[in-house]
Amino acid sequence: MKKYLSFFRLRFTMGLQYRAAALAGIVTQFTWGFMEVMMFRAFYRSDASAFPMSFSATASYVWLQQAFLAFFMVWMMENEIFDSIINGNIAYELCRPINLYNMWFSRSMATRLSRAVLRCFPVLGVAFFVPSPYGLEPPADFFHFALFLVTLVLGFAVTVSFCMLIYFFTFFTVSPQGLRILFTSLVEFFAGAVIPLPFFPENIQRIMEALPFAAMQNVSLRIFSGSMNEVQMQKAVALQVFWLLVLTAAGKLLCRFAEKKVTIQGG
Amino acid sequence: MKTIRKSFHLYLHYISINIRSMMQYKTSFFLSAMGQFLVSFNVFLGIFFMFRRFRTVEDFSYGEVLLCFSIVLLEFSLAEMFVRGFDAFSGIVRSGEFDRILVRPQNEILQVLGSRFELSRIGRMIQAIVMFVYGVANSHVNWNLSKAVTVIFMLIGGTAVFSALFLIYAALCFFTLEGLEFMNVFTDGAREFGKYPIGIYGKKMLLFTTFLVPYALIQYYPLLYLLGKRESVLYLFMPLFACLFLLPAFLLWKFGVRHYKSSGS
Q: Report the predicted TM-score, pTM, of the whole model to 2 decimal places.
A: 0.89
pLDDT exceeds cutoff 90 at A227: no
Q: What is the pLDDT of residue B62?
A: 92
Q: Do A42 and B200 touch (CB under 8 A)?
A: yes
Closest CB to A35 among B28, B35, B189:
B189
CB-based contact A194 B38, cutoff 8 Å: no
Residues in chain A with CB shorter than 8 Å from the CB of B181 are 21, 24-25, 28
pLDDT at B45: 93
ipTM: 0.87
Smallest Cβ distance to A27: which of B41, B182, B201? B182
Burial (CB count within 10 angstroms: exposed 0-12, middle 13-18, buried 19+), residue A13: exposed
pLDDT in tens, A91-117: 888 888 888 999 999 999 999 999 899
DSSP 3-state assignment of A192?
Answer: coil
Summarised one tens digit per residue, pLDDT across range B66-84 is 999 999 999 998 998 888 7
Q: Report the SS3 class of residue A264.
A: coil
Is the confidence at residue A228, as pLDDT, over 60? yes
Q: Give the pLDDT band (50/70/90) at residue B175.
A: confident
Helix axes A100-129, A230-261, angle to 10 degrees: 140
Q: pLDDT per residue over A139-168, tens digit each?
A: 888 999 999 999 999 999 999 999 999 999
Q: Cα separation of B10 and B116, whole Å?
A: 14
Given an 8 Å threshold on Cβ–Cβ distance, is B50 in contact with A43?
yes
Across the range A6-32, mean pLDDT stands at: 85
What pLDDT was estimated at residue B265?
A: 53
Per-residue confidence (pLDDT) for residue A182, from 0 to 100:
83
A212 neighbors A247 (Cβ within 8 angstroms): yes
Beta bridge partners of residue B60, listed in sequence order: B57
Q: Quick one: CA dihedral B151, B156, B159, B165, positive or negative?
A: negative
The mean per-residue pLDDT over the stretch B87-110 comes to 84
- Closest residue in B to A38 (Cα–Cα): B201
Percent of chain A with pLDDT over 90: 52
* Minimum Cα–Cα distance from B180: chain A residue: A24
Give B44's pLDDT tier (boundaries 50, 70, 90). Answer: very high
Give me the mean pLDDT over the A39-63 stretch.
Answer: 92
